Amino acid sequence: MRIKDPKLVAELAALAIDLRCATSLSELTSLGIGGTTDLLRITKHDSLPALIELLERHHIPYKFLGGGSNLLVGDGELPWVILQLAKPDPEIVIVGTLAHVDAAADLGRTVTFCAKHDLGGMEGLIGVPGTVGGALRMNAGAYGMQIGSYVREVKLYRAAARKLEILRGQQISFEYRHTSFAPDDMMLAVTLELPSKPYKEILQGIRICNEKRRSSQPLGQKSAGCIFKNPPGASAGRMIDELGLKGLSVGDAKVSDRHANFFVNAGQASAKDMLALIADVRGRVEKAFGVKLENEVVVWNA
């Protein structure tokens, strides 16, 4: 979708929106898959209500993009524009045991920044790609921890109410790879309350998690992390592996040889290829185990 109306372009500029025309989503997603549309980078949180009002007035559909690390975007010309927060400076402010973090901040950098201030708890999240906003939305977790446990407060834009709101941690439900946020809520900033720990101890925990991840996941390849959620009490990766599906491919979309719940873009995979591979694997697992795997990856299909 293209924004061409010069009047609208001027109105966007007045809201300090950085308009990047004809952006390929394959460059903004860790899978390296996705078609083309206009990207609107938001430099001021407070301009969001006016921006949404403006887009709706002009009948321009939109979607909110975080770090693009858990996302499969459709091919070709996309029928919506993309909104993304620009990174502010600073991204993180520490006050005692509280970390005030912008949603656009990189998750890994946030973990290490907090560690340097003797604030731990998030060691398991090192190596999880994406932004803090994206991690919050899906309650990212690994190695026995999840980000939701540390949330004290979230600032967000609620599209349904068309306003900026602040929610306390207790008002949000954080479950396994799921939260009570609405699909059109846009995370803006979070305050995390973290346990005090000496930097050296946190670093040791980070090293252990890094090592585990490196030994079991295809880190150097284009992927969206795990494709499916684990069903209760089971591992999707183990089930797919048991069926001998590592290496199975549709075009350049391939089940990783290293971890069967990671599907990689081994070259020029299209969304169509990746969706066909997901459907094929889901079907085979259901046939063999009677379990219908649920996507962890978010799909934006045109």
Which residues of this protein are in contact with ligand EPU, per CB under 6 A? 142-143, 216, 225-226, 229-230, 235-238, 241, 259-261, 296
Q: For ligand EPU, which is the closer residue by CB, 173 or 196?
A: 173
Angle between helix 199-216 and helix 107-116 axes, rounded to 10 deg:
150
Tell me the residue ranges of DSSP E strands in the chain: 17-24, 36-42, 62-65, 71-73, 81-85, 92-95, 98-102, 141-142, 145-146, 151-158, 163-168, 174-175, 178-179, 185-193, 222-226, 249-250, 253-255, 262-265, 298-300
Q: For ligand EPU, which is the closer residue by CB, 47 or 210?
A: 210
**In the chain, how many H helices and how many E strands?**
7, 19
Q: Which residue is nearest to ligand EPU (CB)?
A: 225
Whole-angstrom distance, CA of residue 297 vs CA of residue 104: 19
- Nearest distance from C-beta of residue 125 to ligand EPU, angstroms: 9
Q: For ligand EPU, which is the closer residue by CB, 112 or 235?
A: 235
Q: For ligand EPU, which is the closer residue by CB, 39 or 142?
A: 142
Q: Are 72 and 271 in contact (CB under 8 A)?
A: yes
Q: For ligand EPU, which is the closer residue by CB, 77 or 294?
A: 294
- Nearest distance from C-beta of residue 242 to ligand EPU, angstroms: 7
Whole-angstrom distance, CA of residue 221 vs CA of residue 209: 19
The full DSSP string for 280-300 is HHHHHHHHHHS--PPB-SEEE
Torsion angle of C-alpha atoms 194, 199, 201, 202, degrees rounded to 10 = 50
In angstroms, the first-to-last Cα distance of the chain is: 11
Q: For ligand EPU, which is the closer residue by CB, 36 or 223?
A: 223
Structure tokens of 287?
């046939």
Contacts of 275 (CB under 8 A, 6+ apart): 72, 299, 301
Closest CA to 192 of 156, 149, 157: 149
